[in-house]
Amino acid sequence: MNNKLIFTSYGLTTGIGRKLIGKELKVYNLTDKKIFLFHEPHYSIESMLVEACINLGFKKENIVLSGQQRSNQEVLECDIYNVGEGNTFEVLSLLRERELDSVIREGFKQGNKIYIGCSAGAAIAGVSIEEIKEFDRNFVGMVDFKGLGLFDGIIIPHYTKSELKRYISNSPGIEEKYNKILSVSNEKSLVLEV
* pTM score: 0.97
Q: Which ranges in the chain belong to alpha helices (H)?
A: 15-25, 46-56, 72-76, 88-97, 100-110, 120-123, 161-169, 174-177
pLDDT class of 154 with cuts at 50, 70, 90: very high
Q: What is the mean pLDDT of residues 120-135?
A: 96
pLDDT in tens, 9-47: 999 999 999 999 999 999 999 999 999 999 877 778 999
pLDDT in tens, 59-81: 999 999 998 888 999 999 999 99
End-to-end CA gap in the chain:
6
Residues sharing a CB contact under 8 Å with residue 137, sequence separation 6 or more, in sequence order: 87, 89
User: What does the pLDDT read at residue 179?
Assistant: 96
CATH of the domain at 180: 3.40.50.880
Q: Is the dihedral of CA 99, 110, 112, 179 positive or negative?
A: positive
Strand bridging mode 154-157 / 35-38: unpaired
Containing structural domain, residue 186: 4-193
- Number of folded domains that form the chain: 1
Averaged pLDDT of the chain: 96
pLDDT class of 1 with cuts at 50, 70, 90: low
